[in-house]
Amino acid sequence: MAKKIKKSDIDEQLLNSIFRLESEWKHISSLLDQSIERPAHAVNREALAQANYLFLLREARHRKISAMSYR
């Protein structure tokens, strides 16, 4: 019999992913701001990190998850 997955566990994983992607996106952005030349692959990686972060934020809003209740 399969283990039942709790909604709270999934919500916590979602919030952890949001925090991780936010820091990754901000790190890439700061590196690109400091660089003289902006390599195309770095710009694409920044756009991908931003898109993933915003997608997870929309998912959290849809699930009505607040970071205040989990931290």
> Within a domain: residue 33?
yes
Q: How many domains does the chain have?
A: 1
pLDDT of residue 70: 62
Please give the C-alpha separations between residue 51 and each of 16, 33, 45, 71, in angstroms, as whole numbers: 16, 18, 10, 24
Domain of residue 29, residue span: 9-69
Q: What is the DSSP letter of 70?
A: T
pLDDT of residue 55: 95
Residue 47: closest CA among 24, 20, 65, 71: 24
pTM here?
Answer: 0.81
What's the average pLDDT block by block, 10 residues per block, for the chain (71 residues)?
Answer: 80 92 94 89 93 94 81 55
> Within a domain: residue 3?
no
In contact, 25 and 46? CB cutoff 8 Å: yes
